[in-house]
Structure 1
Amino acid sequence: MKLITTLLLCSGLLLSLTQGEDAQEIDCNDETVFQAVDFALKQFNPGVKSGNQYMLHRVMEGTKTDGSPTFYSFKYLIKEGNCSAQSGLAWQDCDFKDAEEAATGECTATVEKRENEFFIVTQTCKITPGKGPILKDNFPCIGCVHAISTDSPDLEPVLKHSIEHFNNNTDHSHLFTLRKVKSAHRQVVAGLNFDITYTVVQTNCSKERFPSLRGDCVALPNGDDGECRGNLFVDINNKIANFSQSCTFYSEHLLEPLSKKCAGCPKDIPVDSPELKEALGHSIAQLNAENSHTFYFKIDTVKKATSQVVAGTNYVIEFIARETKCSKESNTELTEDCEIKHLGQSLNCNANVYMRPWENKVVPTVKCQALDMTTLIRRRPPGFSPFRTARVQETNAGTTRLLNACEYKGRLSKAGAEPAPERQAESSQVKQLPQQ
C-alpha cells in the first residue's frame, strides 16, 4: 500500500464526531480539541518518574458525546521532549528530543468536560523507547474518575440521600422512590466524589400522610417518573459534605417539581419541544435577513432553550446554524428542502425572541459567531494553530474518526513568530485507508 505525505494548514476538518447519525465537524482551530488533549497529557507527565517529559506529537482519532457533561474520547501519539520530568516546565516549553533517541508512545484517553473544567475518566499509554520493545504498558491514573457497578453497596447511602433530597425539594403531592441506577462513577480525592444517574418513580405514599419514604411505599405503574443526576462528595469522615442534583421528568403534567414555583422565572425547555418551533422559525428568518452571506442558513442543532412569562413569552435559545446549498439569488426564502453543505460555514447563535401572540407581536434578536472564530488558546497569538493536518479517510461506517490526523507543530520561538523549523514535528506519513 502506498504511503502518502500530506502537509496542510488547519483549514480542513479535524473531527467528524457523531451524536447518533448527525455528524459534527470541528476545525483544527477549535480550542476545545487542543484543551482536552493538553489536559490529558498534563495528567500523564507527572507519572513519569525518571527521564524526560513527553510532548504531543499527533492526535489520531476521536469521538465526542454531547450532554451534560460532554465526553471526549481520543487516541494521541506522544514523543519524548528535552525537558526532564522534574523540571516543572509545561510540555509546550520543551523541544522534541532527537528522533533516534526519543521514546514515543500511544495514549488512549476519555476526558469529561463539565462546565469549564476537564476531568480524566480513563487514560492508558504504551511507551516505546528509542530502540527496543514496549517498555511500559499501563500508567495508573490516580485520582481519575472510574465507573463502578450500579449494584455497589457503596452507593446505598449516596442514593438514600439523593432520594430524600428529591422528596424534600419537590412540590409533588406524593413521595418518589428509586427505580433504577443507570450509571455510577467514583473518584478518589481527599474523600470520594460520586457521579450517579438514576431514575425515580412516584409511589402510592402521599406527603400529606407520610413524612418520609417507607418500605411499604409502592411504585405506581402509571405514576410520574423521571431521570436524575446527582453529584456528591463524601469526606474522609464518611459524611456527605457537598451535594447537587438535577432532574428531568417524562410526564407532561409534571414540569417543574424540583423547585418552588417561581412565577415569571425562566424555565428550561426540552430542545425538541414543539413549543420552540415558532420561536426558532423567527430566529432563523432574522439571521438570514441580517446575514449578508450568499446562501441561506438553517438550524442544525438546538443546544439549549428557556422561556419566561413576561406579559408575553420571552425565549432565549442557543443553537448551531449551518450554511445550505440554497442561494438567496435563486430562492426567495429558506425551505425545508434546502440541504446543508457538508463543508459549509457553521455559526454558533444566541437568539432572544419576545412574543405576544394576542397582539401578533414578535421581536427577534439573533447574534452569531463563526465556529472557527473561537477565542484562541492561551499562549497562542492570533492566527496560530498548534496543529497541522494529515488527511486520512473515514473508516468503518457508524464509527466516527478524525478525518484529519492532527499533528502538533511545536511552540513558537517568540510571540507572533512562526514556529522555528527545528521545533516542528516531522512530516506526517499516514497510510491511506481503503474505502469501506
Structure 2
Amino acid sequence: MKLIAILFLCTTLLTSLAQGDQQQEFDCNDEDLLKAVDAALRKYNDGSKSGNQFVLYRITEGNKTVDHDVFYSVKYEVKEGNCSIQSGKPWKECDYKESEQAATGECTATIGKRHRDRDFSVTTQTCHVTPAKGPVVTSEYECHGCVHPIITVPHDLDPVLRHAIQHFNNHNNHSHLFAVKEVKRAQRQMVSGWNYEVTYLIEQTNCSKENFKVLTPECKALPNGDTGECTDLAYMDPRLRIASFSQKCEVLSEKDFLFSPNLNCRGCPKEIPVDHPDLKGALSHSITKLNAENNATFYFKIDIVHRATSQLVAGTKYFIEFTARETTCSKESTKELTESCETNKLGKTLRCTADVYEVLWENKIETTVKCQSPGKKQLKPCVFKGQPRDAGAEPTSES
C-alpha cells in the first residue's frame, strides 16, 4: 500500500491592489483551509459514478470571511489519480496518473463552517475538467439548504431592509426617522422560502416623526446625528412576504457627543455630507490613484461613499471611506476611466479609505489610498505534490 507525504509549497501570487494595503496571509498548512478544500474535493469525487478519483494539485486562490459562521471561497486545481471511484480510497492515498493520460481540472467552491459544528459543508462548487483527449466538461453543485454568505447586496435583500428600518422606526421613541446607512454582513438560507441574517448600520435623518410617517427621498442623513447598528433575523415565505422577524439594535445617542472637544475645534476633522461638492475633486484623485496603483485588468469606479471628513490645515485634508466596484472598461482598450465606463454588477468590490491633502493655491495634491476586499482575509496559494513512498519506509525530513 502506498501512502502520500503531503508537501505544500507557498509562493506570493496574490498582489496588493493598492500600495500600503495591509494583507493578512494564511499559512498553507492552515488546518481549516485544508479541511475545507478536502470537503470540496470529496464532494466532487462523490458525484462521479465511474472513472478515477481526482487528486488535489494546488490551491491557487482563496479568502476567508469570518462572522458568526466561517466561509472559505477557494479556487483549486486537480489532476486525475490512479484510484477508481469504486475503490473507496480517500483521494489522499492516490497518486497522479501519467501526465499524457490524466485529466486535469479547476474548481471554484464556497465552503461553510457553522460556529457550533466541526464539519464543513460545500455550499456551491463549479468545476471545469479537461479529459486527456476531449472537450472541457463543466459540472455545478449548489447546496440549496446551506447557509450562503452574501458578498454584494442583491435586490432581493431590499424588501428585508425596508421592513427592518420601518420596524425600527415604528418601535423606538426617537423623534426622527432613521435610514439604513450600510450593510456590514449578511447570510441567507433556502428553506421553504428564505432565511436571512443581516447586520447593518443605521443613521438619523432630518425627517421628524411629527412631519413624516415613513422615509421619503427628502429624508437625508443628519450630520452629527445619532447612529447605530442592528442585527435582524427574517424569514421570507415563498410569496415573498416577511412572515417572521426579530431585531436587535444599539443606538449611540447624540448626547454622547455633547462634550466632545472636537465640536468647536476649527482645526479638527469634521463630518461632511458624502455628496458635498468639495468632495468631487478628492474622490476623483482617489479613484485615479487606486487605478494607477493596482494591477487589475479593469478599471475600478467609486460605487458608494460611506463617510467623509474634512480638516482645515495649511490647505484641506479629506478622509474618505468608500466602496469601489470593477467596471467594464479594461486598461488595455481604454486609456483612462471615463463616465461611460459602467460598473460590472458581477465584478470585484473593494472597501477603501483615502487621505487627500489639497493646497489649491500651490496646485499641490497628495493622495494615499488603501483597499481590501470587504470582510475577507487573503490566502497564500498552496501547491500540493503527491510523493508516494513504500509502506514501512521512514519519511524524510523534507517530507
- Which bracket does the TM-score occupy, shorter chain normalised? 0.3 to 0.5
TM-score, structure 2 as length reference: 0.47
The structure whose RCO (Cα within 8 Å, separation 6+) is larger is 2
